[in-house]
């Protein structure tokens, strides 16, 4: 019995586990395989998906304007600003993005009035903004009035402003698939409730 226990303990001591280097090699292989799988499963965003994403941002800008309440009449009279929220496109080194902003009136804590960023969303790679018009083009067959590159103030970037009642200025944003130019969509903001913004296929 004693000899059996000695042989068993010797066998346990003789077993060898994985070394740290072996574990690191295995983890590196697993990480490389996972990266390849993610790249293979990731597809470029569809132009229709980007269209719906931007329409949702207009809806959010309208809700921001409603939640902000009415502007002080004196502020509106002195600045000419009647909108409480807005959505505009901005070009950057990382690519174009849509920014939601809400107008902030002066207060005792902050005497300055300015537009405060509430959210920004980058456009998906492979989808470009081919142009825009300051009108709601519901019917097909329209074309953008302004095309990139935008040179403010002569050719301003796309934007829409939303009032405290939820109405937003008209806007049509023309989107195009950079790899398949025949794939197009447009975001249409009518001068009604901004939460009624719609997406349409084609131009």
pLDDT of residue 4: 46
Q: What is the pLDDT along the chain (203 residues), one digit of tens a residue?
A: 555 444 555 555 555 666 767 667 677 777 777 665 544 444 446 899 999 999 999 999 999 999 988 888 888 888 888 899 999 999 888 888 999 999 988 877 777 888 999 999 999 888 999 999 999 999 989 999 999 888 777 788 899 999 999 999 999 999 999 889 899 999 999 998 888 899 999 99
Domains in the chain (CATH in brackets) are: 47-201 (3.55.40.10)
Helix (H) or strand (E) holding 18: none
- Parallel, antiparallel, or unpaired for β 184-189 and 198-201? antiparallel
Q: Which of 48, 87, 44 is nearest to 64 (CA)?
A: 87
Burial class (CB in 10 A: 0-12, 13-18, 19+), 199: buried
- This prediction has a pTM of 0.73
CA quadruple 93, 96, 102, 103: dihedral, nearest 10: 60
* DSSP-assigned beta bridge partners for residue 114: 104
* DSSP-assigned beta bridge partners for residue 155: 151
């Amino acid at each position: 019995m004693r000899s059996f226990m000695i042989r068993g303990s010797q066998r346990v001591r003789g077993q060898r586990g994985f070394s740290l280097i072996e574990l690191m090699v295995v983890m590196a292989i697993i990480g490389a395989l996972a990266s390849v799988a993610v790249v293979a499963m990731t597809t470029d965003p569809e132009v229709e998906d980007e269209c719906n994403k931007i329409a949702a941002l207009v809806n959010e800008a309208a809700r921001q304007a409603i939640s902000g309440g009415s502007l002080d009449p004196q502020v509106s009279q002195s600045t000419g600003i009647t909108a409480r929220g807005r959505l505009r496109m901005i070009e950057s080194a990382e690519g174009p993005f849509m920014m939601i902003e809400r107008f902030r009136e002066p207060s005792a804590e902050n005497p300055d009035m300015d537009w405060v960023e509430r959210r920004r969303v980058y456009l998906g790679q492979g989808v470009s903004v081919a142009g825009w018009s300051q009108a709601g083009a519901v019917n097909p067959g329209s074309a953008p009035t302004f095309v990139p590159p935008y040179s403010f103030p002569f050719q301003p970037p796309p934007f829409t402003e939303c009032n405290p009642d939820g109405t937003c200025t008209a806007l049509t944003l023309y989107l195009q698939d950079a790899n398949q130019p025949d794939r197009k969509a447009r975001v249409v903001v009518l001068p009604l409730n901004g939460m009624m913004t719609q997406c349409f296929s084609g131009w």
